[in-house]
Structures are given as structure tokens and as C-alpha cells.
Amino acid sequence: MNLEDDLAYELFSEMEIAERVAALGEAITKDYADKADEGIVLICVLRGAAIFMGDLARQIKLPLEMDYMAVSSYGNGTKSSGVVRILKDLSSSIEGKHVIIAEDILDSGLTLKFLIKSLKARKPASIEVCTLLRKDTPNQADVNCRYIGFECPNEFIVGYGLDYAERYRNVSCIGVLKPEIYS
């Protein structure tokens, strides 16, 4: 049994992802070199961004903290309702620190809009978003993402951390599931 047999097609290979993540890490290293003294916090939005953040963190050649947050958006199935609830909050204060949110995918944009608002209220020195994927979703909320890994089509994506019913997170590439998997 091979999980990758459930993909209709691959969007980004393991190699393409590694190259892109290295480039994102290099850009962040450059942009934050003079901010490291004030403290940099990478925030992982669980669970989808866990693999991405683990790889990204090792490509940022600066001292940094890693913290984790879990949110749930109420909604029907694969669509986000925009009502977001914090299931697990950060372990440490972000006041005065430079925050980079690592997210798996920007779809409607409502999760990130909520998160940015909620984290801004805690008075970080700065806050930016690094999303692995930005989906071509109609009426996407206007979210300022400084770092974007890949643009992707408006399909349901799995792999490299992203799940369908908690499966496929451990697939090394990013792809689109075969429609029959849903039914």
C-alpha cells in the first residue's frame, strides 16, 4: 500500500519543496539578521505547518524560538467559516519580539486574518507571515504574506504536513487527491 497512489497528480516534488524552503530560509535570514538580538519567534500553526516549520527553521541561520498554536475553524467539511477558536495557545510571551507565523496554506485567508489580529494585540515588535502555499481561492481575504512558498490551484491539497481526514501528512511531495478518495 502506497499513500502516493491516492494522488491524482503531484504539484511539487520533494526536491522542489526542499529548494523552495531553502530559498525562504535564506530570505528570512537576510531580512532578520539585524533583528535577532531582539528575539525572533517562529510560530507554527498546528498541525498542517509542523513539517514545513521544522524544515524552514533549519534553513534560517539565526537564533530563534519555536512556538506552537492550534486553532480550529468551525465550518462544514473542507470549507472554513471564519469563526476561529484557539485550541492551544503559545507557551511564551511574544511581547517585543519579531514574530513569523508559519502556515501551511492560505485558502479563504480567514484563519490568518484572525491569527494576525490576535497576535498583534500581544504587542510583538513585528509580525509577518510565511505560508508554504497560497491557493487561488476566489474572494480570498486580503492577508499580507511577506513570504510565500508556492501558488497552487483551487483544489484540495495534501502532503508535506497537509492532511485529508488526518492522513497523508507524511507524504513527502505536495499533490491533489484522487476524487474517489472523498467518496
Contact residues for Mg ion (CB under 5 A)? Answer: 45, 48, 104, 163
Q: Which of 31, 34, 107, 163 is catalytic?
A: 107
Q: For residues 76 and 97, what is the distance between their CA atoms, to the nearest angstrom?
A: 36
> Quick check: 109 binds ligand 5GP (CB under 6 A)?
yes
Q: Which is nearer to ligand 5GP, 48 or 149 (CB)?
A: 48
Applying CB under 6 A, among 12, 41, 97, 108 the residue interacting with ligand 5GP is: 108
> Quick check: 131 binds ligand 5GP (CB under 6 A)?
no
Report the nearest approach of ligand 5GP to the CB of residue 129 (Å).
11
Q: For residues 129 and 102, what is the distance between their CA atoms, to the nearest angstrom?
A: 6
Question: Which set of grid coordinates corresponds to residue 181?
Answer: 478518495
34 is catalytic: no
Q: For residues 167 and 71, what is the distance between their CA atoms, to the nearest angstrom?
A: 19
User: 85, 97, 99: which is closest to 44 by C-alpha?
Assistant: 99
